[in-house]
Amino acid sequence: MTQPNTLPRAVVIYSGGMDSLTVLHNALEAGFEVHALSFHYGQRHARELDVARKVCERLHVDHQIIDIRAIHSLIGNSALTDNDREMPRADYDEDNMQDTVVPNRNMILLSLAIGHAVNIGARVCYYGAHGGDHAIYPDCRPEFVERMNSVAAIANYEPVEIRTPWLHADKSDILADGMRMGIDYADSWTCYIGDELACGECGSCRERLNAFAALGMTDPLAYKKRTS
């Protein structure tokens, strides 16, 4: 007779990108029965979502892709959600990347993920905010995580803890931990452009390539142009 799974449950917001792939493995390593959520909110392309689906199938992780494109008109004022806007192709810093901010994205996604956690009896919800995002994305700052944790503790009768393993770390720290866990980063998509090959020029590609370079490694992902 098949024994019931007695592992504690955790919800992971999993975009299919490098950071969230590492968070997914971190939750698995911590001994959770992982329930991964990916969201289609009207982003420019679905390459990350396709990657997320394949990874979860291979790892036998419960996975749902949630279509919330109906909210696109409310949060569409971003280069990540508007195909008519020019995508910044420069280093990943505050001056260059402000146009990629999607208003309140993480608050919206966390609200849905916390609701799902309560629904399935999970007490933990992970997402991939990290130190390199603080100056650019307001909903990746420690203050935001702290306050969302306070809300998550009282919004339902069952409190949910928000975990951000690399909140005070940078991309190279995430990569180093991922390599320790044996992650193949060919199974991730970071580029803001949804072409066949990663562009290598947008801020997200540049930050990723710089992280590999900092560790003296070569990114296994195929690029049109490698800037590092």
What contacts 195, CB < 8 A, 6 or more positions away?
Answer: 224
What stretch of H or E contains 18?
helix 18-29
- Binding residues for ATP, by number, are 14-24
- Binding residues for Zn(2+), by number, are 191, 199, 202, 205
pLDDT above 70 (res 80): no
Find the farthest-apart pair of alpha carbons in the chain and give their distance in angstroms, rounded: 59
pLDDT above 90 (res 87): no
- Token pair of 117, please? 């956690």
- Binding residues, by number, are 14-24, 191, 199, 202, 205
State percent of the chain over pLDDT 70.
82
Q: What does the pLDDT look like over 115-169, one tens digit per residue?
A: 999 999 999 999 999 886 545 678 888 999 999 999 999 999 999 999 999 999 9
Domains and CATH numbers, the chain: 9-183 (3.40.50.620)
